[in-house]
Amino acid sequence: MVSETIELRGHIIDSLILPKVLDQILTHGANFKIGEIKIGERRADQSFARIEVSADTSEALDELMLRLRQHGAEVIERANVQLAGAPADGVFPSDFYVTTNQQTFVRLDGKEIEVRPAMSNSAIALDRKKESARAVKFFDVTKGDEIVVSHQGIRVVPVQRLTTHTDIFQFINTIVDADEPKSAIIRELGEELRRAHTAKGKIAIVAGPSIVRTGAGHHLARLIEAGYVNRLFAGNSFAAYDVERALYGTSLGMNPDRAVARGGHENHLRAINTIREVGGISAAVRQKLLTRGVMHACVRHDVDIVLTGAIRDEGPIPGVTTDVIEAQKVMREKLADVTHVMLLATVQHSLAVASMLAPTVKTVCVDIDPTAVERTVEHQPLQAIGLVTDVEPFLQELADYLTESRVRE
Amino acid sequence: MRELLLCPPDYYGIEYEINPWMNRAHGADAALVQKQWKQLHAQLSNLDCDVHLIPPQQGLPDMVFTANAGLTVGREFIPSNFRHKERAGEQPFFAKWMEEHDYEVRWLPKNLYFEGEGDALFGGDALFCGYKFRSDIQSHRALADILECLVISVELADPRFYHLDTCFCPLPDGSAFWFPSAFDDYGQRAIREHVTGLIDVLPEEAVHFSCNAVVIGRDIVLPEGAPRLVATLEDRGYRCHPLPMGEFIKAGGACKCLTMFMPQREKC
């Protein structure tokens, strides 16, 4: 979406110039927002209107501006962005502009350039030759790169709430507490995922180890098998627990089906060792060593697995990215085309992912800790639902709804 | 007594084409031009008007259309900024003449096209101004600033009726006769909202430039070829004086284009 601000002055009410201009904006498929309007009080008094006009493409906007100028619209020239060179590799100039995850444009030589990707807590690097603007992290910047400083020449377009249709994200932007009913919301969420699946949206799951420890892994596997997961983000421990559960029936020595497990804590390390021995999770599936569980379902159904490490990790399991900078890059890349995210029972990983999401990504956060839910939902104020609940009944109900209603169809 | 400005058609001719009526292959008949113009001059003089003449200039054939020279209100004259370079040369002659006749010349910014009474006619308590083909809407705002009056800007939609005075003629009782389809929908609505008792001119009569009329009190001097309009106006108590204007219609002008009021209004 690109936009310009126009001003209309004169007897624009009596001459019907204001309604004509507004009608023309709409009939050309563009939108307007009236910023200011002053109506003349006496007959000879002139009126004034300032209107922000937005269109899908700059070509469409230019053509529309040409038409509106004919009716007296004056396009307000905006200032260009201010730039300063990065003083050293990995260092932004002081007073650098800090991005939000909203759609952002910078104005250079009278032209608006969209900043890509829409990523929060970054600076903006400008490439004059390519006429491109890119949101950059510290590690992306090299000495001399032109970085946007101050707030001049920057336009942020916040995501608007859709009015054309209502889905669960349109009428619930809140947190459902532990003592509130959840079934209806889970069913609505199921419908949303089904629509996303049909529309070839990309659904990502951020999975915490509690999913395996509470015995909810097989519900998640059912969602994967039914095609409702395109990408899985997890830590080394999730993968290790899931493999341990698949190989020994335990996770970190605990058996969700029995009160006491044999082997105890050792199983965890033996599971990691097995995967290290064969070279990775995919190899373990190929060699039929790993025949069930979430990781198995992911390999069998071509789900992209993005595993990242933490200091407490054992192993790690091959394929886990342990360099945090590298992990950020990989996660960003793998989140770029995601339309729906479910953040399940993992605070730190959920916060990391939520901070990388575009504002349009529909987000569900499930955690037993209300604070964790609140903190995560804050990142997506218009497109997030939080459910304070144990993840196991949530996943069970969702998987039941999606797989059983699929059978009914 | 109304004062009018006319320009003898000594150098008039179809020397270029800047509107759909003009065709250099169909030039004007010099003798007939003189005859038609003199008939107009005589008719206006008979209506007890004080007719002034500005000396014509060689190379400025359209100077005969004095309505496009500018807009006069009281003792102020706002000269035109012609859109076409072919007519731009007329401006200094008109401005100088008006200045010499004790009118204060009020210039519009040079970048705003405005073609005088051709696109600016008082009706009721508003100044109606046409835009698109010749005048810019931005010039209307400048006029409103100078004159401090209500300006109704209307978009002209038919290139054959490229000036407001070719399709809209206000009458002293606050009504007007007009050719509605020469305006876009909003222009039509704006006129209907501000003018009562509108008389619609039929398309077959409008093409005879019937709206291009000079109204002096209850007398209306208009091109011949509009019997229905004449009948309607006479029913309303106006005296109509149809004149042959064929040689000027070849250039896209008629009675009103050949006449500028000095002033059109004493004040807004």
Same domain for A237 and A359, yes or no, is yes
Tens digit of pLDDT for each residue in A347-377? 999 999 998 988 889 999 999 999 999 998 8
DSSP state of B183: B
**What are the residue numbers of the active site of B?**
163, 257
Tally of domains in chain A:
3
- Sole residue written with tokens 């105890």: A264
Which of A96 and A259 is assigned the larger pLDDT? A96
pLDDT mean over B123-148: 95
pLDDT mean over A24-49: 92
Domain harbouring A229, CATH code: 3.40.50.10690
Domain limit, last residue, from A75, A99, A119: A75
Q: Is the pLDDT of residue A171 over 60?
A: no
Tens digit of pLDDT for each residue in A271-323? 999 999 999 999 999 999 999 999 999 999 999 999 999 999 999 999 999 99
Q: Is residue A142 part of a domain?
A: yes
B-chain residue closest to A73, CA distance: B138
Same domain for A255 and A350, yes or no, is yes
Q: Tell me the two tokens of residue A293.
A: 């569980």
Torsion region of B197: left, alpha or beta (phi above 0 gives left; psi -120 to 50 gives alpha): left
B175 near B198, Cβ under 8 Å?
Answer: yes
Burial class (CB in 10 A: 0-12, 13-18, 19+), A150: middle
Q: Is residue B266 part of a domain?
A: no
- Sole residue written with tokens 């009281």: B74
Tens digit of pLDDT for each residue in B65-104? 999 999 999 999 999 999 999 999 999 999 999 999 999 9
Domain harbouring B43, CATH code: 3.75.10.10
CA dist A194 and B169 (Å) reads 65
pLDDT mean over A215-239: 97
Supply the pLDDT for residue A259. Answer: 59
Which of A360 and B198 is assigned the larger pLDDT? B198
Same domain for A139 and A274, yes or no, is no
Of B91, B141, B142, B150, give the one whose Cα is nearest residue B115: B91
Domain limit, last residue, from A27, A53, A75: A75
Contact assignment for A44 to B193 by CB distance below 8 Å: no
pLDDT mean over B235-256: 97
Tens digit of pLDDT for each residue in B149-170? 999 999 999 999 999 999 999 9
pLDDT mean over A39-52: 92
Supply the pLDDT for residue A250. Answer: 85
Count CB-CB contacts under 10 A for residue A30: 22
Supply the pLDDT for residue A164. Answer: 47
pTM of the model: 0.60
Q: Is the pLDDT of residue B37 over 60?
A: yes
Supply the pLDDT for residue A130. Answer: 92
**3-state secondary structure string across chain A:** CEEEEEEEEECCCCCCHHHHHHHHHHHCCCEEEEEEEECCCCCCCCEEEEEEEEECCHHHHHHHHHHHHHCCCEECCCCCCEEEECCECCECCCCECCCCCCEEEEEECCEEEEEECCCCCCEEEEECCCCEEEEECHHHCCCCCEEEECCCCEEEECCCCCCCCCCHHHHCCCEECCCCCCHHHHHHHHHHHHHHHHCCCCEEEEECCHHHHCCCHHHHHHHHHCCCCCEEEEEHHHHHHHHHHHHHCCECCECCCCCCCCCCCHHHHHHHHHHHHHCCHHHHHHCCCCCCCHHHHHHHCCCEEEEECCCCCCCCCCCCECCHHHHHHHHHHHHCCCCEEEEECCHHHHHHHHCCCCCCCEEEEEECCHHHHHHHHCCCCCCEEEEECCHHHHHHHHHHHHHHHHHHC
Mean pLDDT of chain B: 96
CA dist B140 and A234 (Å) reads 66
Look up the ipTM and state it: 0.92
CA dist A24 and A71 (Å) reads 10
pLDDT confidence tier of residue A150, bands split at 50, 70 and 90 = confident
Contact assignment for B152 to A11 by CB distance below 8 Å: yes
Residues within 8 A of B (CB atoms), A 46-75 only: 46, 70-72
Same domain for A236 and A341, yes or no, is yes
Q: Of the ranges A379-393, B26-40, B46-60, B73-87, which one carries the lowest mean pLDDT score?
A: A379-393
Q: Is residue A162 part of a domain?
A: no
B-chain residue closest to A71, CA distance: B137
Supply the pLDDT for residue A346. Answer: 95
pLDDT mean over A119-134: 93
Same domain for A64 and A88, yes or no, is no
Same domain for A261 and A315, yes or no, is yes
Task: Give percent of chain A with pLDDT exceeding 90.
Answer: 69
Contact assignment for A44 to B150 by CB distance below 8 Å: yes
Supply the pLDDT for residue A322. Answer: 95
Domain limit, last residue, from A75, A98, A117: A75
How near does any CA of chain A get to the CA of B268, in Å? 10
Same domain for A199 and A296, yes or no, is yes
Same domain for A115 and A184, yes or no, is no
Q: How far apart, in Å, are the Cα atoms of B208 and each of A259, B13, B212, B213, B236?
A: 103, 19, 9, 11, 21
pLDDT confidence tier of residue A154, bands split at 50, 70 and 90 = confident
Q: Tell me the two tokens of residue A224.
A: 């994967």
Q: Is the pLDDT of residue A116 over 50?
A: yes
Supply the pLDDT for residue A258. Answer: 66
Domain harbouring A8, CATH code: 3.30.70.2690
Q: Is residue B234 part of a domain?
A: yes
Tally of domains in chain B:
1
pLDDT mean over A187-195: 93
Same domain for A229 and A363, yes or no, is yes
Q: Is residue A389 part of a domain?
A: yes
Q: Is residue A387 part of a domain?
A: yes
Domain span holding position A100: 82-157
Same domain for A306 and A342, yes or no, is yes
Same domain for A56 and A151, yes or no, is no
Domain harbouring A133, CATH code: 2.40.420.10
How near does any CA of chain B get to the CA of A138, in Å? 49
Q: Is the pLDDT of residue A172 over 60?
A: no
DSSP state of B135: S
pLDDT mean over A43-62: 90
pLDDT confidence tier of residue A3, bands split at 50, 70 and 90 = confident
Task: For chain B, say whether A10 makes contact (Cβ under 8 Å).
Answer: yes
Q: Can you list the alpha helix ranges (DSSP code H) found in chain B?
A: 30-46, 85-88, 90-100, 137-147, 185-194, 203-206, 227-235, 246-249
Contact assignment for A44 to B268 by CB distance below 8 Å: yes
Domain span holding position B164: 3-261
Contact assignment for A10 to B137 by CB distance below 8 Å: yes
How near does any CA of chain B get to the CA of A58, in Å? 25
Please report residues of B whose CB lies closer than 8 A to that of A44: 144, 148-150, 268
Q: Is the pLDDT of residue B194 over 90?
A: yes
Q: Is the pLDDT of residue A380 over 70?
A: yes
Q: Is residue A294 part of a domain?
A: yes
Q: Is residue B104 part of a domain?
A: yes
CA dist A60 and A52 (Å) reads 15
Supply the pLDDT for residue B89. Answer: 96
pLDDT mean over A33-37: 92
Q: Is the pLDDT of residue B140 over 80?
A: yes
Q: Is residue B27 part of a domain?
A: yes
Supply the pLDDT for residue A408. Answer: 47
Same domain for A71 and A87, yes or no, is no
